[in-house]
Structure 1
Amino acid sequence: MLKKTLAALAIGSALLSAGSAMAADYVIDKEGQHAFVDFKISHLGYSYITGTFKDLDGKFSFDAAKPEDAKIEMNVRTASVFSNHAERDKHVNSADFLDSGKFPDAKFVSTSVKPTGKNADGKQTADVTGDLTFHGVTKPIVVKATFLGEGKDPWGGYRAGFEGTTSISRKEFVPKGMDVGPQSDVVQLYITFEGVKAK
């Protein structure tokens, strides 16, 4: 009986250890710049302006076997906006748009993850709901996310990577900003990043 009890405890302990080892915390790879928050917005309905934010960081926890338990937090420094035109970037940083001096940070914090199956490439997909705080306003958004993969890297670390898309209404976050017409209200966002497993 004692042997059976000890064996059961050993098996239970091993299973618990294996389960806890599966979940992992990651730091978004800012140093290697394997993280991007890109945007696309219509310019007067005639073309599109695209750009990115060059300064960001974040962290997440993830277990591929339990994606619904994943959590993510990402921070973006708004003054790092880059659209390949210095004068435009200066204007975008002004009170007409980002008002980066007053609102230097934008932040996304997930509140739930709902797995949605797999895409055509067999990658896991999910709807990641979270609170976006931008320009002093906090609103829930949904990011259509894809788990791109995980594994060892050449430098002895372990990585996991994702991509996602969402759209936000500029006037909902910046109601008193410069009016450039309804065709330029929707901002499309593309996010992709790698996280390095915390040691």
Structure 2
Amino acid sequence: MRFAFIPVAAAMAVGAAAPVLAEPYVLDKSHTQVIFSVDHLGFSVVHGWFRNMDAEIDFDPEALEQTRVTFTIDAASVDTNWPARDEHIRSADFLDVENHPTITFVSKSVELTSAETARLTGEVTLRGVTHEETFDVRLNKYGPSPIVPGKMVAGFTATGELDRTRYGMNYAAPAVGGTIPIRIELEMSPAGQ
């Protein structure tokens, strides 16, 4: 299903349509992943993810530019499938989870780039340092669940990258990747469904 995001936004811009109000959506944590990749000395790429996260989402399928998201990640839930490495990532060399237990993203704006894509800009706070970052977002599908009657589901993929050294994580950079590709796969549904 295609969203008519751009025509709706254009109509609103010239006052031809009444304002559309976004409504609360709930993150489906069982179908959401925050995945990252790190180049290891040029020999290989290590992949990891965070096991625990939550989000507050206001969304309207007819007006993507109205979307507001606050995403919170439990930094200690990092998992690279190697416990000793995970403990090092939790240390002060990297995430410093003892002093900074959460990673947050708070959206500021949504720029439509096609009927199915947008650029989502917001503030990432990591290790107590905040920078503005932008992610490319693609609508994968929006429609009724074929498994749960009456439930609407929106699925998205967001991609971007973070320069970890901007957040004070300088350990072994750039030999161990300083620029970290991020991929977020998520599903969400209207609250109350």
- TM-score past 0.5 threshold: yes
Q: Which residue of 2 aligns with 1:67?
A: 64
Counterpart-to-counterpart distance in 2, 1:148 and 1:64: 13
Quick one: structure 1 residues 183 and 79, their matched pair in 2 at CA, closer, same or farther if it must change by over 3 Å? Answer: closer
Alpha-carbon offset, residue 170 of structure 1: 0.8
Question: Which segment drifts farther, 128-137 or 63-72?
Answer: 63-72
Rounded to whole Å, the distance in 2 between the matches of 1:62 and 1:161 is: 12
Cα deviations by residue, 1:150-170 (Å, 9 ceiling, x for unpaired): 222222422211111010101
The total of aligned residue pairs comes to 174
After TM superposition, list the pairs within 5 Å mapping 1:7-156 onto structure 2: 23-30=22-29, 33-118=30-115, 124-153=116-145, 154-155=147-148, 156=150
In the alignment, residue 140 of structure 1 is paired with which amino acid?
E
Kindly indicate whether the alpha-carbon contact (under 8 Å) linking 2:144 and 2:151 is maintained by their aligned counterparts in 1. yes
- Residues of 2 paired with 1:88 and 1:134: CA distance? 19
Match of 1:121 in 2: none
Separation of aligned partners in 1, 2:74 and 2:137? 22
> Which structure: larger Rg?
1
Aligned 8 A contact 2:74 2:101 in 1: yes
Partner of 1:179: 172
Q: TM-score, normalised by structure 2?
A: 0.83
- CA RMSD across the alignment: 1.9
**Alignment gaps of 5+ in structure 1:** 1-14, 119-123
Q: 2:162 aligned with 1:168, yes or no?
A: yes
| Deviation string, structure 1 residues 106-144 (Cα, Å, up to 9, x no partner) | 0001100000014xxxxx100000000111101000000
CA distance in 2 between partners of 1:73 and 1:117 (Å): 23
TM-score, with length taken from structure 1:
0.81
Larger helix fraction of residues:
1
Identity of counterpart residues, as a percentage? 32
Cα distance in structure 2, aligned partners of 1:174 and 1:140: 15
- The whole-number CA distance in structure 1 between the counterparts of 2:174 and 2:144 is 48
Structure 2 gap segments, 5+ residues each: 1-16
For 2:164 and 2:122, locate their aligned partners in 1 and report how far apart those are by CA, in whole Å: 17
